[in-house]
Structure 1
Amino acid sequence: MTLKKEWRHWSVWFFMLLYMGATKPADAQSSVTLYGIIDTGVEYVTNIGSKRSNAALVPTLTGTLPSRWGIRGREDLGGGLSAIFVLESGFAPGQGTLNQYGRLFGRQAYVGISGRWGTLSFGRQYSQIFWGNPGDTLAPSIYAAALLDTYLITPPRTDNSIVYSFSSNGLSFGLGYSLGRDTVAPAVAGGCAGQSASDWRACKSMSAMLKYETPAWGAAAVVDRNYGGGGSGSPLPSSSQTDTRALLSGYVKFATTTLGAGIEHRINHGLQAPGVFNVNSDFWWFGGQYMPTPSLSLDAQFGHLNVNGNPVGGSVIAARAMYLLSKRSAVYLTAGRMFNQSKATFTIDGGTAGTSSLPMAGIDQTGVMVGIRHFF
């Protein structure tokens, strides 16, 4: 073969390979979706602070659902495998500011690979306790039973996490492990020091979930544990301290009615109340949703928290009426009442960050809100 013929021979192969490489991405099925929720309104809250004042407020955290926008993507890699990612940002519609302590993608930020064997993902992700609570028919609404343990409706997310999940024929299983959680939140809000090269337990988090759902009923069991290491001012100052929750939750459906309930046992080795350590508590709730017409949803819920040996628990009742203007838009009226034990300071206002709506110890609170929600 002459040099000229040989060059032609190899050039044909080169351009064939170049064509195959250029067309392969085009053959793969991929998608990127922009999505979001805007949910806000005006609420009225009673008995705030030492003066027991009343206030009209625009919530910053949630209405019926927290406001957010996000981007999710999936690419078909062939052989039953897909590459996935999610970037999700929470914001306060009243000010247009970021939630989750100013993070750009504070709700979720992860990338992973998914196949018939399940999904493995890396980044900032939900704890499995978020996915394993199907019996909560009302949260994360601004007034709900889970205000007695806001960890359930924040919802809990962990930085630097590795998550494996699998779902098939109604059965779901998930495992999550964080190498160092929440370096942005302040210590008093449960923030931690993040990843540590010197203390293998510091700020770690782990969770496991098993769930089964059908169109008529569903049930789930979850275990969630956080390790301390946040230092002075943190609920868990030392890495030897843990905060563990075990949750059972479920629901049943009858035509246009859904009934849900759950119970959570918590063993908290950190500081939960002034001078109180190693506190065990039990939180339970029940509630339901009734849709008399396809456009009208009526919800109600009751919850109670008992802290062993300490009057820092309470009870809450909440209700909501929502009218669906379309598949994307709805208006609603919701109300709640918080009943605090003598040393408890739970607020009914689940829509305001920080301590600005807290009552004095032992004082009850009422909240009422009218709002509008839109999906996009």
Structure 2
Amino acid sequence: MKTIRSTATFPCILAFGLGLATAAHAQGEPAGGVTIYGLMDACLTRSDRGADRATAINSGCLYGSRLGFRGTEDLGGGLRASFVLETGLTIDTGELAQGGRAFGRKALVSLAGRWGAIEMGRDYAPAFYVVQPIDPMALGIGTASSTLWTGAASTSAARNNNVVNLLSPTWNGLSLRLQATVGDERADGSRKARGLNVLYRSGKTLAGISHTRVDNADDLAHDAGTTVGVRHDFGAFTLAGIAQSGAWRGTRTTSAASATSIFSRSYRSYLVGGSVPVAATTKVNASWKRYDDRTAGNFDASQLSVNVVHTLSRRTDLYAGYSRLKNLRASSYSVSDASTAYTGVTPGASTSLLAAGIKHTF
């Protein structure tokens, strides 16, 4: 069923995009009124899960492949209406990602003015906007999201459905984002979520803090996490650090952590890393992460990741990366890249991923 749905939906997405562009032209919209954009990323991977090793062509090791449409209308008086529709693609099979959703990566409509903006639709959770730009791996090979929660209602996703975002204007580099899921969140099986982040951007510094709370289906318990991070570009190199404290009490029914799911009833997670340009067109990125499970199971883990990105042009990069996660005791956490979690790890084993690929934007 998934293949049939994906195959049928993708031509509809293309037709929709062409219709948007045609409509914008017919109505005399200025150039760029509706923009079609995308990113295609394909990679060759070699994963080691302890008892199992596999070689594969995968989609999106550095970044998730996507096709998107965005547009803005000036309403006058400082008001702007805009939209973004972004679908995830699996370039190795040509199917849709995010469970076969037509616009699973993002689907938002917004109204903005001097007072800020209001957005409604499907969007990333607030912690994502702290973790992604600070993570030296940019949530690619050895992604920070393998040991840091991005604040969504699911451990396997970074986005929430049925969201309302309130965005402040920027004051001296500071901006605020508030998010809540409302309406029919119970009908589609998701759970009530709310969160916020505060970001500070000034010159070569980015700092942020976020807090997220996700209630269980009965609203009797909740998962929660607080994340702080900072990145600074020193010119010759960039340093970054992230720390997170969380407690998953809404989806963990026992006092011990799960040996396979990194988020437990009480945990601390840390990341340090950075980037170094080694040539005019080549950069090395690295990170070290420590996951501290504070339950009786004490299922800790540590992970080292490194990649090299070589720029061929403004739109095309070649890359190669390696990530190794050391499981302690009986834990069986997995290495992930931008699109794939390499699960099925032998308990207590170290697991690794070696990947190389090409990323092209348009």
Asked whether the two chains share a fold, i.e. TM above 0.5, the reply is yes
- DSSP 3-state at the match of 2:127: helix
The whole-number CA distance in structure 2 between the counterparts of 1:359 and 1:180 is: 38
The whole-number CA distance in structure 1 between the counterparts of 2:149 and 2:61 is: 15
Structure 2 residue ranges without an equivalent (≥5): 1-26, 258-263
Letter in structure 1 aligned against 2:53: N
**1:279–1:150 CA distance, 2 compared to 1 (3 A):** closer
Corresponding residue of 1:326:
313
Corresponding residue of 2:49:
47
- DSSP 3-state at the match of 2:147: helix
Q: What pairs up with 1:198-213 in 2 under 5 angstroms?
A: 203-213=191-201
1:30: how far off? 7.2
Q: Is the 8 A contact 1:159 1:180 kept in 2?
A: no
**1:110–1:306 CA distance, 2 compared to 1 (3 A):** same
1:271: how far off? 4.2
Letter in structure 1 aligned against 2:216: G
1:239: how far off? 2.5
Corresponding residue of 2:161:
159
- DSSP 3-state at the match of 1:300: strand
Letter in structure 1 aligned against 2:228: L
1:78-104 alpha-carbon deviations (Å, 9 max, x no partner):
000000100000011000111111100
Letter in structure 2 aligned against 1:193: G
- DSSP 3-state at the match of 2:303: strand
Corresponding residue of 1:187:
none
Letter in structure 2 aligned against 1:171: L
1:166: how far off? 2.1
Q: How many matched pairs?
A: 324
Letter in structure 2 aligned against 1:255: G
Percent identity reads 24
- DSSP 3-state at the match of 1:101: helix
**Bigger CA radius of gyration:** 1
Corresponding residue of 2:180:
177
1:167: how far off? 3.6
The whole-number CA distance in structure 1 between the counterparts of 2:333 and 2:71 is: 39
**1:55–1:141 CA distance, 2 compared to 1 (3 A):** same
Q: Is the 8 A contact 2:334 2:345 kept in 1?
A: yes
Letter in structure 2 aligned against 1:137: P
The whole-number CA distance in structure 1 between the counterparts of 2:174 and 2:101 is: 33
Q: CA RMSD in A?
A: 2.5
Of residues 346, 349, 354 in structure 2, which corresponds to 1:363?
A: 349
Q: Is the 8 A contact 1:88 1:107 kept in 2?
A: yes
Corresponding residue of 1:247:
227
- DSSP 3-state at the match of 2:39: strand
The whole-number CA distance in structure 1 between the counterparts of 2:173 and 2:201 is: 5
The whole-number CA distance in structure 1 between the counterparts of 2:87 and 2:186 is: 17
The whole-number CA distance in structure 2 between the counterparts of 1:27 and 1:41 is: 38
The whole-number CA distance in structure 2 between the counterparts of 1:45 and 1:252 is: 32
Letter in structure 2 aligned against 1:41: C
Q: Is the 8 A contact 1:145 1:316 kept in 2?
A: no
Deviates more, 1:174-183 or 1:63-72: 174-183
Corresponding residue of 1:139:
138
Corresponding residue of 1:314:
301
- DSSP 3-state at the match of 1:125: strand
1:119-177 alpha-carbon deviations (Å, 9 max, x no partner):
10111111111112343221310323431236469652111110011242422110000
1:298-351 alpha-carbon deviations (Å, 9 max, x no partner):
000000011113222211000001100001001011001010121211111435
Of residues 96, 99, 104 in structure 2, which corresponds to 1:98?
A: 96
